[in-house]
Amino acid sequence: MTTTDHRAALASFAARRNRRNDRTAMTRAALTAWVGGFLYVLLLLVLVSGAPTDSGPLVAVGSLPAVTLLVGVLRRRPLTTLVLALFAATAVVVVPPRTTRASLTLFYQGQFLSYLAADLVLGYIVATCRRRVSVFAVSLAFGVQSMTIGLFSHGPEFLVVDGVIGLLAMAAAYMLGLLSRERREHAVALRAQEVAEAVTAERLRIARELHDVIAHSVGIIAIQAGVGSRVIHTQPDAARDALRAIESTSRQTLSGLRRTLVALRQAEPDTTTAGRAPLAPSPGLADVDGLAAATAEAGIRVEVRVSGERRPLPADVDLSAYRIVQEALTNVVRHAGTGRCTVALDYGDEELAVEVVDDGRGVPGEGSGHGFGIVGMRERVALLHGRFSAGPRPEGGFRVVARLPLPEPAGVAVETR
């Protein structure tokens, strides 16, 4: 037998042993539950038949702790448990009292206390079982208690008092069970809603990230490819430069896609990265100059203006600001029809202001069906509890403005490049 066969045999033996242990444990639990139910009935019979004189109310009260013996049966057979509890409570009431005339009134006042155990079981059924089972359990408990109270109450005054008390006790148990059931269902619904919202938010985040990674680069590639195809015969050097730009942009795009896909696949913290090339960090505002240079290769001169003291930003703010600038430049390249634009970054005490302005013909609105760029920018800003605006300028061109809150204040300086 090979080592593999030996391991497979050991695994099969362990699985069979675990199944046997599970069946044994289930059998023991079931046996314990039914023994508890039998002892409950036996204990009630002993209480009813062997109680001393003038102990009728004590029998009714003493039967309540005995219901703990039914816990095992209650988890397996709730309706059976209710039947046992109703049977025992009815037996306490029906058996003739061994009491003197002086304590007869006290007995009549306490003879229906034993039904509290059945009411507790009823509340558990309402809280945990299906509605059809709950309706049947309520009907059964109400019918048995009503009939017993009607037949064994002594006099009209006892009938009214016992009936009202029994009805209130059963209603209270039902309401508590119903409240517990609704709270549990509400908690399950909230968890399902939270999961759905988390899935939707993650899906939108992935969509924004992929859009921002691809759209800018593909726009530049398309423009460079068009330039290269037009001058390939007349200006070979310009065509060669366009092809180099396409190669460089394509590599950057592939690197960004690889970083995004690897991050999505690394759902487990122990995912090994042995043999893989190290991934570049996520881009941020420190890479805006490179973004401007890449956009310049597509024929759009970008002027970057920075005011305030440049300082490290939270990762989510840094990435979102970079993506907003990237998407705004993509729209300028694809739609503005101009040769220049301005990117202004203002590091304020309480917020980071990002503004991209061009003097072209503007870009399609977010409702025109031409893309999801402005929608994605607005979502990024909303997630950071910032403010966003985008639209044509009165003097011509288009303006994108995003204001992102910052956690720490800083002094103000001015730098222009």
- Tell me which of 210 and 401 has the higher pLDDT: 401
Q: Point out the least confidently predicted range of 157-161, 242-246, 247-251.
A: 157-161
pLDDT averaged over the chain? 75
Q: How far apart are CA 162 and CA 110, in angstroms?
A: 9
Instruction: Compute the average pLDDT of residues 339-346.
Output: 90
Per-residue model confidence as pLDDT tens digits over 25-63: 666 666 676 676 677 667 666 665 555 544 455 555 666
Per mean pLDDT, which of 41-45, 53-57, 77-81, 380-384 is the most reliable? 380-384
Per mean pLDDT, which of 6-15, 67-76, 238-247, 357-366 is the most reliable? 238-247
Instruction: Compute the average pLDDT of residues 337-365.
Output: 84
List, in order, residues 6 or more apart from 134 with CB less than 8 Å away.
Answer: 125, 126, 177
pLDDT band at 331 (very low <50, low <70, confident <90, very high): confident
Q: Per DSSP, what are the bridge partners of residue 301?
A: 340
Integer angstrom CA distances of residue 1 from 4, 6, 10, 250: 8, 6, 12, 54
Residue with tokens 């013996």: 69
Can you give the pLDDT at residue 272? 45
Residue-range domain boundaries for the chain: 20-154, 285-417
- Domain 285-417, CATH: 3.30.565.10
Query: What percent of the chain shows pLDDT beyond 70?
Result: 67
Per-residue model confidence as pLDDT tens digits over 310-320: 888 888 888 88
Q: Point out the least confidently predicted range of 133-147, 191-205, 338-352, 386-400.
A: 191-205
The pLDDT of residue 355 is above 90: yes
Can you give the pLDDT at residue 273? 45
Q: How far is CA 46 from the centre of its chain?
A: 53
Task: State the Cα torsion 238-244-246-248 to the nearest 10°.
Answer: -150
Please state the pTM of the whole predicted model.
0.49
List, in order, residues 6 or more apart from 242 with CB less than 8 Å away.
Answer: 224, 225, 227, 228, 231
Residues 73/35, Cβ–Cβ less than 8 Å: no
The pLDDT of residue 97 is above 90: no
- Tell me which of 214 and 308 has the higher pLDDT: 308
The pLDDT of residue 329 is above 80: yes
Per-residue model confidence as pLDDT tens digits over 180-230: 888 888 888 888 888 888 877 777 777 777 776 676 677 777 777 877 777
